Amino acid sequence: MKKKRVIVAMSGGVDSSVAAALLKKQGYEVIGIFMKLWADKVANTDLVKENICCSVEAATAARAVAHKLEIPFYVVNLEKEFKKAVVDYYVKEYEEGRTPNPCVICNRDIKGEVLMRKALEMEADFLATGHYARIREVKSQYSKAKLTEYKLLTAVDENKDQTYFLWTLTQKHLAKLLFPVGEYTKPDVRKMAAKMHLPTAERKESQGICFIPDRDVCAFLHRYAKKLTKPGPIMDKTGKRLGIHSGLINYTIGQRERLNIGGPRAYYVLKLNKRNNSLIVGNDGDLYKTKLIAESLNWITPKNKDQFKISKIGGRIRYGHTVAECKLDCSHRNRVKVTFDVPQRAITPGQSIVFYLPRPVSRITEGAKSRGDGKEVLGGGIIN
């Protein structure tokens, strides 16, 4: 039989390197692809701030792994697509007073659409990445014909789980995606890389937003944003003026830094008021809320409202945040009202809320196949 062909998105990191190695070991025809993404070219200077995900170092590492595995390796230029879909979106959201998550949009529009199309053009059966997540193929409980359905599940390594960034995936995507390292813990992946003598075995993980390598978000936004950059008043909930902010674009809900307000207590950002260009601040207790509205929804499983009538659904309002029990009101088209049992800190417009169907995760034992099915991702939306 002809081997199934898999295109692996290789970033030069240990996770995608091990993903490629595992797939080759499993008998797939593996082809590595490295994405050349947009980098920040500072106006009126010769300075180019390398995108972390596609730096010269990352490209060299990915190519070295492909050479070690003896697989074909290609570089695809997606600078224009990435700038339009991710960077422009990021800036526009900040100009609207929201705090976006660019990784969610990258997974949806770049990996899930542009790269997937290129993989299919190369007659690939699957596209694989180094994400910590899992996919399960099951028979649909909502179809009399018991059609095939794909479920997105949390990774074995709950500390590295990346399903928060993948809630925009659809059945069409999941049918063509593979997440090989989702069955392992990060230490497992490092050990496998070392055992296979992969050049990336000890390579450090990249941190922060890939197209802002120096992590100076304020400086980046002031180069590209046109709105919400003017100074204005900082006020408390009663309307009392406390100081001057440097432009609403520099702040997000829950922020404490760069307020420059004197006094005996700490202040936190509660709200960005675009109407009068004011920044509303308060104490830490004011940040806790029980309700939110989310839009731009995507449901991974069939859109059958019965799945939301169960008593316990988990909601996660940002990456790394604890999944908290909540109830959903799906009576409004294209939006959902979420009510948490316990108040959540710093619910932030522009961030994603991801919904999980809690299921016990089996205790980790030897061998990936015995590590449980994790929690099912129902879908998500953008907090409004």
Q: What's the average model confidence in pLDDT over 151-172?
A: 96
**CA gap 75, 58 in Å, rounded:** 12
**CA gap 358, 321 in Å, rounded:** 15
CATH of region 228-286, choose from 2.30.30.280, 1.20.1730.10, 3.40.50.300, 2.120.10.30: 2.30.30.280
- pLDDT value, residue 365: 33
Where residue 205 falls among pLDDT bands split at 50, 70, 90? confident
- CA angle, residues 272, 350, 217, in degrees to nearest 5: 75
- CA angle, residues 23, 29, 35, in degrees to nearest 5: 80
**CA gap 8, 190 in Å, rounded:** 18
Q: Which residues of 288-310 are buried (b: 16+ CB within 10 A; e: fewer)?
A: eeeebebeebebbbeeeeebbee
Burial class (CB in 10 A: 0-12, 13-18, 19+), 4: middle
Looking at the predicted structure, is the pLDDT value of residue 361 above 70? Answer: no
- pLDDT value, residue 31: 98
Is 106 an active-site residue? yes
pLDDT digits (tens, 9 = 90+) for 173-184: 999 999 999 999
Of these residues, 106, 218, 326, 330, which one is catalytic? 106
- pLDDT value, residue 368: 44
- pLDDT value, residue 47: 78
Backbone angles phi, psi at 7, to 5 degrees: -90, 125
Per CATH, the number for 288-383 is: 2.40.30.10
Amino acid at 368: A
- pLDDT value, residue 139: 78
Beta bridge partners of 273: 278
Largest Cα span, the chain: 74
Mean pLDDT of the chain: 91
pLDDT digits (tens, 9 = 90+) for 98-108: 999 999 999 99
State both tokens at 91.
């800036």
State both tokens at 290.
């029980």
pLDDT digits (tens, 9 = 90+) for 113-123: 999 999 999 99
Of these residues, 210, 218, 326, 330, which one is catalytic? 210
How many of the other CB atoms lie within 10 Å of CB of 321?
16
Q: What's the average model confidence in pLDDT over 259-274?
A: 90
Q: What is the DSSP string of 25-52?
A: HTT-EEEEEEEE---EE-TTSS-EE--G
Where residue 366 falls among pLDDT bands split at 50, 70, 90? very low
Higher-confidence residue of 228 and 361: namely 228
pLDDT over 90, % of the chain: 80
**CA gap 327, 123 in Å, rounded:** 43
- pLDDT value, residue 307: 59
Q: Which residues contact 22 (CB under 8 A, 6 or more apart)?
A: 180, 181, 192
Q: Is residue 61 a contact partner of residue 313, using CB atoms and an 8 Å limit?
A: no
Beta bridge partners of 340: 326
Q: What's the average model confidence in pLDDT over 135-161?
A: 85
Q: Are strands 278-282 and 288-299 parallel, antiparallel or unpaired?
A: unpaired
- pLDDT value, residue 142: 61
Looking at the predicted structure, is the pLDDT value of residue 302 above 80? Answer: no
- Cα separations (Å) of 373 from 183, 264, 283, 330, 370? 10, 50, 41, 27, 9
CATH of region 5-131+179-195, choose from 3.30.420.40, 3.40.50.620, 3.40.50.2300, 1.10.10.60: 3.40.50.620
The residue with tokens 């794909």 is: 150
Q: Is 380 helix (H, G, I), strand (E, B) or coil?
A: strand
| Residue ranges per structural domain of the chain | 5-131+179-195, 228-286, 288-383
pTM score: 0.91
**CA gap 110, 127 in Å, rounded:** 12
Task: Tell me the Cα Rg of the chain.
Answer: 22
Q: What is the DSSP string of 236-270?
A: -TT--EEEEES-GGG--TT--TT----SSS--EEE
Where residue 367 falls among pLDDT bands split at 50, 70, 90? very low
pLDDT digits (tens, 9 = 90+) for 7-48: 999 999 999 999 999 999 999 999 999 999 999 987 767 778
- pLDDT value, residue 156: 96
How many of the other CB atoms lie within 10 Å of CB of 159?
9
Higher-confidence residue of 372 and 242: namely 242
**CA gap 127, 375 in Å, rounded:** 23
Looking at the predicted structure, is the pLDDT value of residue 278 above 80? Answer: yes
- pLDDT value, residue 360: 46
- pLDDT value, residue 130: 97
How many of the other CB atoms lie within 10 Å of CB of 184?
23
